[in-house]
Chain A
């Protein structure tokens, strides 16, 4: 029985009617990996214990699977036949965009890989695969002929019954039959000419498929709910005010600025099964650096936002970076934790934001509980206001003469993890600095990400930090060497397990099992270029740990 059916049955047991999201629930993360974060909480904590501290040093390779992208050409007479290939897309021929994030860049699996009923579902931009989770054999390959767009990294698929959903950089939501890879339909979710690019992992909650997109021009962000059967839109939540009088409109100089204000929903959020709130982070305001044309706090950019999943109506918000001026998104995964705070049991949401601050809120009400800085440099911030929000110092905004600041923020979208065993929140951080030169002297300002040149880039290294959510203090930090010739990197995500383990890549070469209590390495294997967050699942009473390194999946187990 697939997971969606299980959901349905769970729903039937819990309620007298076949409900939708009201009954949507997932079991604690263990055997399968049916959604972006494994379960709805964003904790990436697996309750599996077969692989644990006492035996992790015997962890061994189960299989390797190299994924071929693009059009399958076949391997010649002596090569085994390629897996069935299904081709979709609106372009006659795939458009090669060029640039750093070119559509023809080498295949890199950076997002979540689903595991349901012994089949893995993986993506890279314009590509999707089904893979036998026991053997690593590819069962089918779907290739999307793209019209173009920014191809930075696809974050994975969503699953509803037998239907898969993934986004394309040219702004379609594509639904595939999980059994065959055949396309059911594709729907435009954003306007390609408006320079949106869609790479988020859709998340399925009840009969809602939630999708978002990115945009580095000046267009507005939104979260959409789509019907899993028809692809028709159910509701849309704009992350900036669209009309005078909308909530947050008084945090913009005028409605024109708000309508071009960014705040994109490009990272999958988390879902509270009890309150039916979908909680997600939003991206930077736009224009990113010409901020004088958007005076005010710029709601709901750089915010944690909770909406009712049935209606898309706003329940609460908390802005983690009022009036951001550095492209420091707050899109990072919100992590839902039930735990004590100030001696009382609370339903919490935790986030480590790209601006270097860690936040704890009540996830039912949005009440702010704690802010701490998890980074060593904070000259850009003058302090915290009474709501715990960082107060930016405008002197550190990009200036014509160059201002020093952290480059690209202190963490990014690769997922963090939280272990209820240790009570610690784990996040990968990086410490890159440089100069931001404001290059647009026209008083009308620049658009989108324009108006800044960078220089003097320096990396002081990357690390994994463990944060005590009750105090905001860093309990341990494991730094990684770099600066030898490797740039500071956003790296890949994290996984904790009830086997008292933290799985994560180091600078990228090694997959490492750490002791989550202190960051001590217990096991490692050299895969070169670990590219996504490690995952774990159980098949035939054997626990697997799986990770991607570029175009290759590796699965490990105990024999």
Chain B
């Protein structure tokens, strides 16, 4: 998928295993390879698949008889309720619950009787059960382009302070080739990130300097840090686990993404949209 590269996908998968053990509620991206079901989207619990021919016939019968009120996709329309979330439809297996409503109507709610053969009602049920709620979306990444490029340029060169680190002629040259949603996501997060802000594979590591009371120092990439142990990967790639007792030794961390993190609480949506619109012009 667009948001996570293949390395990030592998990293996300590994993280998920850790995450599950750690009691994480991962916020999975739609369509992520990490799982076929996105917990943030509507679920489609497994149902035994129906005969495709029955589904096709059901779609036909539905569109002729039902879609005027219930919408062509069953999500409701002119007067008729959404059928895809109807307990009657959800609990129905082969038309046995739906049939009573179709044949008798719901006169008090304005639904007439439909004198359909039982087989056609089974087909309608197969069609309704085949609709995947979780696949419904008409979203395209270009739809996120709602900002004003000129205002974005002004923000980029001025108040945003982006030019302290970035240049549209150098590191950002051609950045507009990226799809606008991915671009905006990366402007906000300061690069590619994974689930709940997990560092993407290949992201620049945080640098750490550990200073002992003797004045001796250890420098390298930060692997992990808690109140009790700091783990540093030195220039040769060796890992050193160093015990901490309160503030001894001293640990200083520099995060290359820090300027972006410092902006997180300050951003206004409008400025972000505008910067995205501006960078999108850098083809």
User: Residue B15 at the A interface, CB < 8 A?
Assistant: yes
Whether A152 pairs with B25 at a CB distance below 8 angstroms is yes
- What size tier do the contact residues of chain B reach? 35 or more
Closest 8 CB pairs of A and B: A459-B197, A401-B146, A487-B196, A439-B139, A448-B42, A455-B185, A99-B37, A456-B188
Interface residues of B in 1-41 (CB under 8 A from A): 3, 15-30, 34-41
List residues of chain B with CB under 8 Å of any chain A CB: 3, 15-30, 34-43, 45-47, 71, 75-77, 81-82, 84-85, 87, 90-91, 133-134, 136-139, 143-147, 181-182, 184-190, 193-199, 206, 222-229, 253, 255, 260-261, 264-265, 267, 269, 272-273
Most buried by A among B42, B46, B76, B253: B42
Whether A403 pairs with B269 at a CB distance below 8 angstroms is yes
Most buried by B among A260, A414, A433, A457: A457
Whether A531 pairs with B222 at a CB distance below 8 angstroms is no
Q: Write the chain B residue with the least CB distance to A481.
A: B225
Whether B197 pairs with A97 at a CB distance below 8 angstroms is no
Classify the interface of chain B: helix, strand, loop or mixed. Answer: loop
Interface residues of A in 192-251 (CB under 8 A from B): 192-195, 216-219
Q: Write the chain A residue with the least CB distance to B137.
A: A439
User: A487: which B residues are within 8 A, CB to CB?
Assistant: 15, 19, 24, 26, 194-198
Known A193-B90, A437-B139, A450-B41; contact A529-B255, beta-carbon cutoff 8 A: no
Classify the interface of chain A: helix, strand, loop or mixed. Answer: loop
Whether A456 pairs with B81 at a CB distance below 8 angstroms is no
Q: For residue A528, give the distance in angstroms from its CB to the closest CB of chain B.
A: 8
B82, B181, B227: the one within 8 Å of A437 (CB): B181
User: Residue A308 at the B interface, CB < 8 A?
Assistant: no
A195, A217, A489, A524: the one within 8 Å of B228 (CB): A524
User: Residue A95 at the B interface, CB < 8 A?
Assistant: yes
User: Residue A101 at the B interface, CB < 8 A?
Assistant: yes
Known A449-B40, A457-B196; contact A433-B264, beta-carbon cutoff 8 A: yes
- What size tier do the contact residues of chain A reach? 35 or more
Known A97-B46, A100-B39; contact A521-B193, beta-carbon cutoff 8 A: no
Known A110-B23, A457-B196, A481-B225; contact A219-B184, beta-carbon cutoff 8 A: no
Whether B146 pairs with A400 at a CB distance below 8 angstroms is yes
Instruction: Enumerate 13 A-B pairs (CB-CB under 8 Å) in ascending A order.
Output: A100-B26, A101-B39, A102-B35, A193-B45, A396-B269, A433-B264, A444-B76, A450-B42, A450-B137, A455-B184, A457-B197, A459-B196, A526-B228
User: Residue A176 at the B interface, CB < 8 A?
Assistant: no
Whether A456 pairs with B189 at a CB distance below 8 angstroms is yes
- How many angstroms from the CA of A451 to the CA of B133 in the assembled complex? 10
**Given A99-B35, A507-B226; 15 other pairs, CB 8 A cutoff:** A100-B16, A101-B39, A216-B39, A399-B269, A402-B273, A439-B139, A444-B77, A450-B41, A456-B184, A457-B198, A459-B198, A484-B225, A485-B224, A487-B198, A532-B23
Whether A448 pairs with B133 at a CB distance below 8 angstroms is yes
User: B19: which A residues are within 8 A, CB to CB?
Assistant: 487, 489
User: B36: which A residues are within 8 A, CB to CB?
Assistant: 98-99
Most buried by B among A432, A452, A486: A486
Whether B39 pairs with A150 at a CB distance below 8 angstroms is yes
Q: For residue B137, give the distance in angstroms from its CB to the closest CB of chain A.
A: 5
Q: For residue B254, give the distance in angstroms from its CB to the closest CB of chain A.
A: 12
Q: Write the chain A residue with the least CB distance to B138.
A: A441
Whether B189 pairs with A402 at a CB distance below 8 angstroms is no
User: B15: which A residues are within 8 A, CB to CB?
Assistant: 486-487
- How many angstroms from the CA of A350 to the CA of B34 in the assembled complex? 37
Q: For residue B157, give the distance in angstroms from its CB to the closest CB of chain A.
A: 22
Whether A194 pairs with B226 at a CB distance below 8 angstroms is no
Complex interface bits, A507-547 against B, C-beta within 8 A gives 1, otherwise 0: 11110100000000100101001111000000000000000
Q: Write the chain B residue with the least CB distance to A528.
A: B21
Whether B82 pairs with A447 at a CB distance below 8 angstroms is yes
B37, B134, B273: the one within 8 Å of A97 (CB): B37
- How many angstroms from the CA of A412 to the CA of B26 in the assembled complex? 12
User: A123: which B residues are within 8 A, CB to CB?
Assistant: none
Known A97-B37, A442-B138; contact A447-B42, beta-carbon cutoff 8 A: yes
A194, A437, A453, A459: the one within 8 Å of B87 (CB): A194
User: A37: which B residues are within 8 A, CB to CB?
Assistant: none
User: Residue A9 at the B interface, CB < 8 A?
Assistant: no
Whether B139 pairs with A440 at a CB distance below 8 angstroms is yes
User: Residue A335 at the B interface, CB < 8 A?
Assistant: no
Known A148-B45, A457-B195, A532-B23; contact A447-B84, beta-carbon cutoff 8 A: yes
Whether A458 pairs with B224 at a CB distance below 8 angstroms is no
Q: Write the chain A residue with the least CB distance to B253.
A: A481
- How many angstroms from the CA of A382 to the CA of B260 in the assembled complex? 25
Q: Write the chain A residue with the least CB distance to B133.
A: A447
- How many angstroms from the CA of A407 to the CA of B226 in the assembled complex? 23
Q: For residue B40, give the distance in angstroms from its CB to the closest CB of chain A.
A: 5
User: Residue A446 at the B interface, CB < 8 A?
Assistant: yes
A399, A440, A447: the one within 8 Å of B85 (CB): A447
